[in-house]
Chain A
Amino acid sequence: MIEFQDLQKAFDGKPVLQGLSLKVRDAETVVIIGYSGTGKSVALKHIVGLLHPDAGDVIVDGQAVSTLDRDGLTELRRGIGYVFQFAALFDSLTVADNVALGLKRRGLDDEEIEERVLEALALVDLSGSGDRMPAELSGGMRKRVGIARAIALRPRYILYDEPTTGLDPVTSAVIDRLMVRTREHLGVTGVVVTHDMRSAYTIGDRIAMLFEGRIRQVGSVAEIQRTEDPVVRQFIEGRAE
Protein backbone atom coordinates (compact mmCIF):
# COMPACT_ATOMS: atom_id res chain seq x y z
CA MET A 1 0.00 0.00 0.00
CA ILE A 2 1.08 3.57 -0.72
CA GLU A 3 0.01 6.28 1.67
CA PHE A 4 0.61 10.02 1.38
CA GLN A 5 0.62 11.46 4.89
CA ASP A 6 0.15 15.21 5.10
CA LEU A 7 2.78 15.70 2.37
CA GLN A 8 4.13 19.23 2.02
CA LYS A 9 6.57 20.58 -0.53
CA ALA A 10 7.53 24.08 -1.66
CA PHE A 11 9.89 25.24 -4.39
CA ASP A 12 11.75 28.56 -3.92
CA GLY A 13 9.33 29.43 -1.15
CA LYS A 14 6.27 28.75 -3.31
CA PRO A 15 4.10 26.02 -1.73
CA VAL A 16 3.05 23.26 -4.12
CA LEU A 17 1.84 20.45 -1.88
CA GLN A 18 0.16 21.70 1.29
CA GLY A 19 -0.88 18.61 3.20
CA LEU A 20 -1.60 15.93 0.60
CA SER A 21 -3.10 12.82 2.21
CA LEU A 22 -4.24 9.82 0.18
CA LYS A 23 -4.19 6.02 0.44
CA VAL A 24 -3.64 3.75 -2.55
CA ARG A 25 -4.76 0.21 -1.73
CA ASP A 26 -3.08 -2.89 -3.12
CA ALA A 27 -4.10 -3.95 -6.64
CA GLU A 28 -6.12 -0.81 -7.35
CA THR A 29 -5.39 2.01 -9.77
CA VAL A 30 -5.82 5.50 -8.39
CA VAL A 31 -5.82 8.39 -10.82
CA ILE A 32 -4.73 11.78 -9.51
CA ILE A 33 -6.26 14.57 -11.57
CA GLY A 34 -5.77 18.30 -11.31
CA TYR A 35 -4.81 21.47 -13.10
CA SER A 36 -1.35 21.84 -14.62
CA GLY A 37 1.20 22.95 -12.06
CA THR A 38 -0.75 21.77 -9.02
CA GLY A 39 1.95 19.27 -7.99
CA LYS A 40 0.66 15.96 -9.38
CA SER A 41 4.06 14.92 -10.75
CA VAL A 42 5.73 16.29 -7.62
CA ALA A 43 3.56 13.95 -5.54
CA LEU A 44 4.50 11.00 -7.75
CA LYS A 45 8.23 11.73 -7.43
CA HIS A 46 7.97 11.60 -3.65
CA ILE A 47 6.87 7.95 -3.86
CA VAL A 48 10.25 6.88 -5.26
CA GLY A 49 12.30 9.39 -3.29
CA LEU A 50 13.23 11.57 -6.26
CA LEU A 51 12.08 14.51 -4.15
CA HIS A 52 12.37 14.97 -0.40
CA PRO A 53 9.33 16.37 1.41
CA ASP A 54 9.46 19.53 3.52
CA ALA A 55 7.00 17.91 5.93
CA GLY A 56 4.85 14.79 6.01
CA ASP A 57 5.88 11.63 4.20
CA VAL A 58 4.95 8.88 1.79
CA ILE A 59 4.65 5.41 3.29
CA VAL A 60 5.25 2.51 0.91
CA ASP A 61 4.70 -0.97 2.33
CA GLY A 62 5.11 0.44 5.83
CA GLN A 63 8.37 2.28 5.07
CA ALA A 64 8.61 6.06 5.31
CA VAL A 65 10.35 6.98 2.04
CA SER A 66 12.04 10.13 3.34
CA THR A 67 13.83 8.18 6.08
CA LEU A 68 15.42 5.67 3.71
CA ASP A 69 19.14 5.88 2.94
CA ARG A 70 20.42 5.28 -0.60
CA ASP A 71 20.54 1.50 -0.18
CA GLY A 72 17.01 1.55 1.22
CA LEU A 73 15.82 3.69 -1.69
CA THR A 74 17.48 1.36 -4.19
CA GLU A 75 15.67 -1.58 -2.62
CA LEU A 76 12.35 0.30 -2.66
CA ARG A 77 12.80 1.29 -6.32
CA ARG A 78 13.34 -2.35 -7.32
CA GLY A 79 9.65 -2.89 -6.65
CA ILE A 80 8.37 0.17 -8.50
CA GLY A 81 8.06 0.87 -12.22
CA TYR A 82 7.94 4.53 -13.25
CA VAL A 83 6.61 5.74 -16.61
CA PHE A 84 7.76 9.28 -17.29
CA GLN A 85 5.74 11.98 -19.02
CA PHE A 86 8.05 12.12 -22.05
CA ALA A 87 9.15 8.50 -21.63
CA ALA A 88 12.72 9.50 -20.61
CA LEU A 89 14.25 6.84 -22.84
CA PHE A 90 18.04 6.71 -23.00
CA ASP A 91 18.93 8.21 -26.38
CA SER A 92 22.14 6.24 -26.78
CA LEU A 93 20.53 2.84 -26.21
CA THR A 94 18.29 0.79 -28.49
CA VAL A 95 14.70 0.10 -27.52
CA ALA A 96 15.64 -3.40 -26.30
CA ASP A 97 18.59 -2.05 -24.28
CA ASN A 98 16.32 0.57 -22.71
CA VAL A 99 13.94 -2.15 -21.56
CA ALA A 100 16.80 -4.40 -20.46
CA LEU A 101 18.65 -1.76 -18.41
CA GLY A 102 16.59 -2.16 -15.23
CA LEU A 103 16.71 -5.95 -15.54
CA LYS A 104 20.52 -5.94 -15.73
CA ARG A 105 20.56 -4.03 -12.48
CA ARG A 106 18.54 -6.81 -10.88
CA GLY A 107 21.27 -9.31 -11.73
CA LEU A 108 19.19 -11.51 -14.06
CA ASP A 109 21.06 -13.72 -16.54
CA ASP A 110 21.18 -12.77 -20.22
CA GLU A 111 18.68 -15.42 -21.28
CA GLU A 112 16.05 -14.26 -18.80
CA ILE A 113 16.64 -10.62 -19.68
CA GLU A 114 16.10 -11.35 -23.36
CA GLU A 115 12.96 -13.32 -22.58
CA ARG A 116 11.52 -10.53 -20.43
CA VAL A 117 12.39 -7.84 -22.98
CA LEU A 118 10.62 -9.73 -25.76
CA GLU A 119 7.62 -10.36 -23.51
CA ALA A 120 7.37 -6.71 -22.44
CA LEU A 121 7.72 -5.41 -26.01
CA ALA A 122 5.04 -7.88 -27.16
CA LEU A 123 2.71 -6.66 -24.41
CA VAL A 124 3.00 -3.09 -25.73
CA ASP A 125 2.65 -4.24 -29.35
CA LEU A 126 6.24 -3.36 -30.25
CA SER A 127 7.59 -6.79 -31.12
CA GLY A 128 10.32 -6.42 -33.72
CA SER A 129 11.23 -2.85 -32.68
CA GLY A 130 13.96 -3.85 -30.24
CA ASP A 131 16.80 -2.77 -32.51
CA ARG A 132 15.41 0.69 -33.22
CA MET A 133 16.74 3.82 -31.55
CA PRO A 134 14.42 6.08 -29.51
CA ALA A 135 14.93 8.93 -32.01
CA GLU A 136 13.26 6.78 -34.69
CA LEU A 137 10.04 6.37 -32.69
CA SER A 138 6.85 8.42 -32.60
CA GLY A 139 5.62 9.96 -29.33
CA GLY A 140 3.13 7.15 -28.76
CA MET A 141 5.72 4.46 -29.44
CA ARG A 142 8.14 6.11 -27.03
CA LYS A 143 5.49 6.07 -24.31
CA ARG A 144 4.85 2.39 -25.01
CA VAL A 145 8.56 1.64 -24.69
CA GLY A 146 8.50 3.54 -21.38
CA ILE A 147 5.67 1.31 -20.23
CA ALA A 148 7.50 -1.80 -21.46
CA ARG A 149 10.57 -0.71 -19.49
CA ALA A 150 8.45 -0.44 -16.35
CA ILE A 151 6.47 -3.67 -16.72
CA ALA A 152 9.54 -5.75 -17.67
CA LEU A 153 10.62 -5.31 -14.06
CA ARG A 154 7.41 -7.05 -12.91
CA PRO A 155 6.99 -4.43 -10.20
CA ARG A 156 4.47 -4.35 -7.37
CA TYR A 157 3.62 -0.75 -8.23
CA ILE A 158 3.57 1.22 -11.47
CA LEU A 159 3.52 5.02 -11.48
CA TYR A 160 2.40 6.77 -14.67
CA ASP A 161 3.17 10.46 -15.12
CA GLU A 162 0.83 12.00 -17.72
CA PRO A 163 0.81 8.86 -19.90
CA THR A 164 -1.45 10.29 -22.61
CA THR A 165 -0.42 13.94 -22.65
CA GLY A 166 0.44 15.19 -26.12
CA LEU A 167 -0.94 12.14 -27.91
CA ASP A 168 -3.75 12.01 -30.46
CA PRO A 169 -7.06 10.48 -29.25
CA VAL A 170 -6.50 7.12 -30.92
CA THR A 171 -2.97 6.71 -29.55
CA SER A 172 -4.26 7.83 -26.13
CA ALA A 173 -6.88 5.09 -26.27
CA VAL A 174 -4.15 2.57 -27.16
CA ILE A 175 -2.12 3.66 -24.12
CA ASP A 176 -5.23 3.50 -21.90
CA ARG A 177 -5.97 -0.03 -23.09
CA LEU A 178 -2.36 -0.94 -22.46
CA MET A 179 -2.50 0.32 -18.87
CA VAL A 180 -5.70 -1.64 -18.23
CA ARG A 181 -4.13 -4.73 -19.81
CA THR A 182 -1.03 -4.30 -17.64
CA ARG A 183 -3.13 -4.15 -14.49
CA GLU A 184 -5.14 -7.23 -15.52
CA HIS A 185 -2.10 -9.27 -16.57
CA LEU A 186 0.24 -8.33 -13.75
CA GLY A 187 -2.19 -7.34 -10.96
CA VAL A 188 -0.03 -4.35 -10.05
CA THR A 189 -1.05 -1.36 -7.97
CA GLY A 190 -1.05 1.79 -10.06
CA VAL A 191 -0.91 5.52 -9.49
CA VAL A 192 -1.65 7.59 -12.57
CA VAL A 193 -1.26 11.33 -12.82
CA THR A 194 -3.23 12.95 -15.63
CA HIS A 195 -5.59 15.72 -16.63
CA ASP A 196 -7.08 13.65 -19.41
CA MET A 197 -10.55 12.80 -18.03
CA ARG A 198 -11.37 10.20 -20.67
CA SER A 199 -8.21 8.36 -19.71
CA ALA A 200 -8.99 8.75 -16.00
CA TYR A 201 -12.46 7.19 -16.42
CA THR A 202 -11.03 4.29 -18.45
CA ILE A 203 -8.16 3.24 -16.24
CA GLY A 204 -9.05 4.39 -12.71
CA ASP A 205 -10.64 2.36 -9.93
CA ARG A 206 -10.71 5.58 -7.94
CA ILE A 207 -10.06 9.18 -8.89
CA ALA A 208 -8.58 11.83 -6.58
CA MET A 209 -8.55 15.51 -7.45
CA LEU A 210 -5.57 17.53 -6.29
CA PHE A 211 -6.39 21.20 -5.80
CA GLU A 212 -4.35 23.88 -4.06
CA GLY A 213 -1.91 21.31 -2.70
CA ARG A 214 -4.50 19.02 -1.10
CA ILE A 215 -6.90 16.29 -2.17
CA ARG A 216 -10.18 18.05 -2.88
CA GLN A 217 -12.21 14.89 -3.44
CA VAL A 218 -11.53 11.20 -3.85
CA GLY A 219 -14.01 8.57 -4.97
CA SER A 220 -14.91 5.91 -7.49
CA VAL A 221 -15.33 6.87 -11.13
CA ALA A 222 -19.10 6.96 -10.69
CA GLU A 223 -18.84 9.11 -7.56
CA ILE A 224 -16.59 11.61 -9.29
CA GLN A 225 -18.87 11.73 -12.31
CA ARG A 226 -21.84 12.52 -9.98
CA THR A 227 -19.94 15.02 -7.83
CA GLU A 228 -21.56 18.27 -6.80
CA ASP A 229 -18.30 19.89 -5.74
CA PRO A 230 -18.11 22.95 -8.04
CA VAL A 231 -14.31 22.82 -8.40
CA VAL A 232 -14.25 19.13 -9.32
CA ARG A 233 -17.32 19.53 -11.54
CA GLN A 234 -15.72 22.39 -13.47
CA PHE A 235 -12.53 20.40 -13.97
CA ILE A 236 -14.11 17.14 -15.13
CA GLU A 237 -16.44 19.01 -17.48
CA GLY A 238 -13.58 21.13 -18.77
CA ARG A 239 -15.55 24.38 -18.39
CA ALA A 240 -13.68 27.70 -18.57
CA GLU A 241 -15.86 29.17 -15.77
Chain B
Amino acid sequence: MIESIGRRSISAIEEVGRVGYFLRDMARGLRDVGTWGGLVLLQMRRVGVDSLPVALFIAAFTGVVLALQASYTFTGAVPLYFVGTLVGKTMMLELGPVLAGLALAGRVGASMAAELGTMKVTEQVDALETLAYDPQSYLVVPRVIAGTLMFPVIVAFAVATGITTGWLTSLVLLDLSTPDFLKGLKLFYVFKDVWFGLLKSATFGFTITLVGCIEGLSTRGGAEGVGRSTTRAVVYSAILILVLDAFLAVVLL
Protein backbone atom coordinates (compact mmCIF):
# COMPACT_ATOMS: atom_id res chain seq x y z
CA MET B 1 0.00 0.00 0.00
CA ILE B 2 2.68 2.52 1.11
CA GLU B 3 4.93 1.27 -1.67
CA SER B 4 2.14 1.83 -4.20
CA ILE B 5 1.50 5.38 -2.93
CA GLY B 6 5.25 6.06 -3.07
CA ARG B 7 5.48 4.77 -6.64
CA ARG B 8 2.53 6.89 -7.77
CA SER B 9 3.94 9.98 -6.04
CA ILE B 10 7.31 9.55 -7.73
CA SER B 11 5.58 9.00 -11.05
CA ALA B 12 3.51 12.20 -10.58
CA ILE B 13 6.61 14.22 -9.68
CA GLU B 14 8.41 12.81 -12.74
CA GLU B 15 5.45 13.84 -14.89
CA VAL B 16 5.59 17.40 -13.55
CA GLY B 17 9.34 17.42 -14.22
CA ARG B 18 8.75 16.17 -17.77
CA VAL B 19 6.29 19.00 -18.45
CA GLY B 20 8.76 21.48 -16.93
CA TYR B 21 11.57 20.32 -19.23
CA PHE B 22 9.20 20.42 -22.19
CA LEU B 23 8.22 24.02 -21.42
CA ARG B 24 11.88 24.97 -21.09
CA ASP B 25 12.63 23.38 -24.48
CA MET B 26 9.62 25.12 -26.00
CA ALA B 27 10.87 28.47 -24.70
CA ARG B 28 14.19 27.70 -26.37
CA GLY B 29 12.33 26.86 -29.60
CA LEU B 30 10.63 30.27 -29.49
CA ARG B 31 13.98 31.93 -30.29
CA ASP B 32 14.02 30.37 -33.76
CA VAL B 33 11.40 32.66 -35.32
CA GLY B 34 12.71 31.88 -38.81
CA THR B 35 11.54 28.28 -38.45
CA TRP B 36 8.17 28.62 -36.73
CA GLY B 37 7.16 32.00 -38.18
CA GLY B 38 6.17 30.57 -41.53
CA LEU B 39 4.30 27.61 -40.05
CA VAL B 40 1.97 29.44 -37.65
CA LEU B 41 -0.51 30.51 -40.34
CA LEU B 42 -0.88 26.94 -41.60
CA GLN B 43 -1.54 25.72 -38.07
CA MET B 44 -3.97 28.57 -37.40
CA ARG B 45 -5.96 27.45 -40.40
CA ARG B 46 -5.91 23.83 -39.25
CA VAL B 47 -6.74 24.62 -35.61
CA GLY B 48 -9.10 27.50 -36.28
CA VAL B 49 -10.94 27.27 -39.57
CA ASP B 50 -11.17 23.48 -39.60
CA SER B 51 -12.48 23.35 -35.99
CA LEU B 52 -15.05 26.08 -36.40
CA PRO B 53 -17.96 23.92 -37.68
CA VAL B 54 -17.78 21.59 -34.64
CA ALA B 55 -17.68 24.48 -32.18
CA LEU B 56 -20.55 26.32 -33.90
CA PHE B 57 -22.67 23.17 -34.07
CA ILE B 58 -22.30 22.60 -30.32
CA ALA B 59 -22.89 26.28 -29.51
CA ALA B 60 -26.03 26.47 -31.68
CA PHE B 61 -27.78 23.66 -29.80
CA THR B 62 -26.51 24.86 -26.44
CA GLY B 63 -28.15 28.25 -27.09
CA VAL B 64 -31.48 26.59 -27.85
CA VAL B 65 -31.37 24.42 -24.72
CA LEU B 66 -30.29 27.32 -22.49
CA ALA B 67 -33.22 29.48 -23.62
CA LEU B 68 -35.73 26.68 -23.09
CA GLN B 69 -34.35 25.64 -19.69
CA ALA B 70 -34.22 29.26 -18.51
CA SER B 71 -37.84 29.80 -19.45
CA TYR B 72 -38.78 26.49 -17.78
CA THR B 73 -37.00 27.53 -14.56
CA PHE B 74 -38.27 31.15 -14.50
CA THR B 75 -41.93 30.40 -15.19
CA GLY B 76 -44.09 32.59 -12.99
CA ALA B 77 -41.33 33.66 -10.63
CA VAL B 78 -38.85 35.66 -12.70
CA PRO B 79 -39.59 37.99 -15.65
CA LEU B 80 -39.08 36.16 -18.93
CA TYR B 81 -36.59 38.74 -20.30
CA PHE B 82 -34.06 37.21 -17.86
CA VAL B 83 -33.78 34.43 -20.46
CA GLY B 84 -31.53 36.86 -22.41
CA THR B 85 -29.43 37.44 -19.30
CA LEU B 86 -28.97 33.76 -18.63
CA VAL B 87 -28.21 32.83 -22.24
CA GLY B 88 -25.67 35.66 -22.61
CA LYS B 89 -23.87 35.26 -19.30
CA THR B 90 -23.74 31.48 -19.45
CA MET B 91 -22.51 31.37 -23.03
CA MET B 92 -19.84 34.04 -22.49
CA LEU B 93 -18.56 32.98 -19.10
CA GLU B 94 -18.90 29.23 -19.08
CA LEU B 95 -20.51 27.10 -21.74
CA GLY B 96 -18.96 28.79 -24.76
CA PRO B 97 -15.34 28.32 -23.66
CA VAL B 98 -15.78 25.03 -21.80
CA LEU B 99 -17.92 23.13 -24.31
CA ALA B 100 -15.82 24.34 -27.24
CA GLY B 101 -12.69 23.46 -25.24
CA LEU B 102 -13.89 19.95 -24.47
CA ALA B 103 -14.98 19.35 -28.05
CA LEU B 104 -11.71 20.65 -29.44
CA ALA B 105 -9.69 18.66 -26.92
CA GLY B 106 -11.06 15.67 -28.82
CA ARG B 107 -10.57 17.13 -32.25
CA VAL B 108 -7.40 19.25 -32.04
CA GLY B 109 -5.61 17.59 -29.10
CA ALA B 110 -6.18 14.08 -30.43
CA SER B 111 -5.16 14.98 -33.96
CA MET B 112 -1.93 16.64 -32.78
CA ALA B 113 -1.03 13.73 -30.51
CA ALA B 114 -1.73 11.23 -33.30
CA GLU B 115 0.16 13.23 -35.94
CA LEU B 116 3.24 13.90 -33.80
CA GLY B 117 3.09 10.38 -32.36
CA THR B 118 3.15 8.89 -35.84
CA MET B 119 6.02 11.18 -36.79
CA LYS B 120 7.86 10.05 -33.68
CA VAL B 121 7.48 6.30 -34.24
CA THR B 122 8.32 6.57 -37.96
CA GLU B 123 11.52 8.50 -37.13
CA GLN B 124 10.30 11.68 -38.86
CA VAL B 125 11.10 13.63 -35.69
CA ASP B 126 14.64 12.19 -35.69
CA ALA B 127 14.89 13.06 -39.39
CA LEU B 128 13.99 16.67 -38.57
CA GLU B 129 16.78 16.75 -36.01
CA THR B 130 19.33 15.35 -38.44
CA LEU B 131 18.32 18.09 -40.89
CA ALA B 132 19.39 20.53 -38.15
CA TYR B 133 15.85 21.57 -37.17
CA ASP B 134 14.73 21.82 -33.57
CA PRO B 135 11.46 19.82 -33.37
CA GLN B 136 10.26 22.31 -30.76
CA SER B 137 10.57 25.18 -33.24
CA TYR B 138 9.23 23.24 -36.20
CA LEU B 139 6.46 21.19 -34.60
CA VAL B 140 5.52 22.45 -31.15
CA VAL B 141 5.79 26.25 -31.14
CA PRO B 142 3.60 26.87 -34.23
CA ARG B 143 0.91 24.52 -32.93
CA VAL B 144 0.82 26.01 -29.42
CA ILE B 145 0.82 29.60 -30.71
CA ALA B 146 -1.93 28.74 -33.21
CA GLY B 147 -4.03 27.10 -30.47
CA THR B 148 -3.59 30.00 -28.07
CA LEU B 149 -4.50 32.59 -30.70
CA MET B 150 -7.30 30.75 -32.47
CA PHE B 151 -9.28 29.32 -29.53
CA PRO B 152 -10.55 32.77 -28.45
CA VAL B 153 -11.62 33.43 -32.04
CA ILE B 154 -13.46 30.10 -32.25
CA VAL B 155 -15.10 30.71 -28.88
CA ALA B 156 -16.12 34.25 -29.87
CA PHE B 157 -17.94 32.84 -32.89
CA ALA B 158 -19.40 30.05 -30.77
CA VAL B 159 -20.71 32.50 -28.15
CA ALA B 160 -22.26 34.68 -30.86
CA THR B 161 -23.88 31.60 -32.40
CA GLY B 162 -25.23 30.39 -29.03
CA ILE B 163 -26.71 33.79 -28.21
CA THR B 164 -28.25 34.01 -31.69
CA THR B 165 -29.92 30.59 -31.44
CA GLY B 166 -31.04 31.45 -27.87
CA TRP B 167 -32.61 34.64 -29.22
CA LEU B 168 -34.29 32.80 -32.13
CA THR B 169 -35.62 30.16 -29.73
CA SER B 170 -37.00 32.87 -27.44
CA LEU B 171 -38.60 34.59 -30.42
CA VAL B 172 -40.19 31.50 -31.95
CA LEU B 173 -40.94 29.21 -29.00
CA LEU B 174 -41.14 31.46 -25.92
CA ASP B 175 -43.07 34.47 -27.23
CA LEU B 176 -40.27 36.74 -26.02
CA SER B 177 -39.80 39.86 -28.18
CA THR B 178 -36.43 40.92 -29.51
CA PRO B 179 -36.33 44.13 -27.36
CA ASP B 180 -37.09 42.07 -24.24
CA PHE B 181 -34.37 39.51 -25.07
CA LEU B 182 -31.87 42.35 -25.67
CA LYS B 183 -32.97 44.05 -22.45
CA GLY B 184 -32.15 40.87 -20.54
CA LEU B 185 -28.91 40.39 -22.43
CA LYS B 186 -27.70 43.89 -21.52
CA LEU B 187 -29.03 43.85 -17.96
CA PHE B 188 -25.98 42.58 -16.07
CA TYR B 189 -23.52 42.71 -18.94
CA VAL B 190 -20.03 43.94 -18.05
CA PHE B 191 -17.01 43.95 -20.34
CA LYS B 192 -15.30 41.51 -17.99
CA ASP B 193 -17.72 38.81 -19.23
CA VAL B 194 -16.09 39.04 -22.64
CA TRP B 195 -12.44 39.19 -21.68
CA PHE B 196 -12.83 36.56 -19.00
CA GLY B 197 -14.36 34.14 -21.54
CA LEU B 198 -11.70 34.90 -24.12
CA LEU B 199 -8.86 34.62 -21.62
CA LYS B 200 -10.22 31.26 -20.55
CA SER B 201 -10.37 30.17 -24.18
CA ALA B 202 -6.76 31.20 -24.79
CA THR B 203 -5.72 29.24 -21.70
CA PHE B 204 -7.63 26.18 -22.91
CA GLY B 205 -6.11 26.52 -26.39
CA PHE B 206 -2.61 26.68 -24.94
CA THR B 207 -3.29 23.69 -22.68
CA ILE B 208 -4.90 21.46 -25.32
CA THR B 209 -2.18 22.02 -27.92
CA LEU B 210 0.61 21.73 -25.37
CA VAL B 211 -0.76 18.43 -24.00
CA GLY B 212 -1.27 17.13 -27.57
CA CYS B 213 2.35 17.96 -28.42
CA ILE B 214 3.79 16.54 -25.19
CA GLU B 215 1.90 13.28 -25.54
CA GLY B 216 2.63 13.02 -29.27
CA LEU B 217 6.36 13.55 -28.90
CA SER B 218 6.65 11.14 -25.99
CA THR B 219 5.04 8.31 -27.97
CA ARG B 220 6.83 4.97 -27.80
CA GLY B 221 6.09 1.78 -29.68
CA GLY B 222 4.09 1.50 -32.88
CA ALA B 223 0.43 2.01 -33.69
CA GLU B 224 -0.55 0.94 -30.16
CA GLY B 225 1.70 3.65 -28.71
CA VAL B 226 0.11 6.26 -30.97
CA GLY B 227 -3.34 5.12 -29.78
CA ARG B 228 -2.28 5.39 -26.14
CA SER B 229 -0.84 8.89 -26.64
CA THR B 230 -3.97 10.05 -28.41
CA THR B 231 -6.23 8.79 -25.64
CA ARG B 232 -4.01 10.32 -22.96
CA ALA B 233 -3.98 13.66 -24.77
CA VAL B 234 -7.80 13.81 -24.83
CA VAL B 235 -8.25 12.65 -21.24
CA TYR B 236 -5.55 14.93 -19.76
CA SER B 237 -6.79 17.91 -21.78
CA ALA B 238 -10.39 17.40 -20.64
CA ILE B 239 -9.34 17.10 -17.00
CA LEU B 240 -7.08 20.15 -17.21
CA ILE B 241 -9.83 22.22 -18.86
CA LEU B 242 -12.19 21.52 -15.98
CA VAL B 243 -9.50 22.17 -13.35
CA LEU B 244 -8.40 25.40 -15.06
CA ASP B 245 -12.04 26.45 -15.41
CA ALA B 246 -12.53 26.22 -11.65
CA PHE B 247 -9.13 27.79 -10.92
CA LEU B 248 -9.75 30.80 -13.17
CA ALA B 249 -13.21 31.30 -11.67
CA VAL B 250 -11.75 31.33 -8.17
CA VAL B 251 -8.90 33.68 -9.09
CA LEU B 252 -10.55 36.10 -11.51
CA LEU B 253 -14.26 36.33 -10.67
Contacts and interface: CB of A to CB of B under 8 A. Distances in A.
A50 B130 contact: yes
Given A70-B28, A88-B122, A82 B132 contact: no
Contact of B132 (A77, A91, A149): A77
A84 B118 CA distance: 15
A50 B123 CA distance: 11
A78 B132 CA distance: 6
Interface in B134-192: 134
A203 interface: no
Interface in A119-160: 149, 153
Contacts of B131: 77, 101-102, 105, 149, 153
A70 B134 contact: yes
Interface in A83-111: 84-86, 88-91, 101-102, 105-106
A16 interface: no
Contacts of A106: 132
Contact of A50 (B28, B118, B126, B133): B126
A52 interface: no
Given A88-B124, A90-B124, A80 B134 contact: no
B134 A82 contact: no
B49 interface: no
Interface string B91-129: 000000000000000000000000000110011101101
B130 A80 contact: yes
A235 B129 CA distance: 33
Most buried by B among A78, A88, A90: A88
B126 A88 contact: yes
Given A74-B134, A105-B132, A105-B133, A84 B127 contact: yes
A45 B28 contact: no
Contacts of B122: 86, 88
A88 B127 contact: yes
B183 to A, nearest CB: 51
A151 to B, nearest CB: 13
B164 to A, nearest CB: 36
20 contacts: A74-B132, A74-B134, A77-B129, A77-B132, A78-B132, A81-B130, A82-B126, A82-B127, A82-B130, A84-B127, A88-B123, A88-B124, A88-B126, A88-B127, A89-B127, A91-B124, A105-B131, A105-B132, A105-B133, A106-B132
Interface of A: 45, 48, 50, 70, 74, 77-78, 80-82, 84-86, 88-91, 101-102, 105-106, 149, 153
Interface of B: 28, 35, 118-119, 122-124, 126-127, 129-134
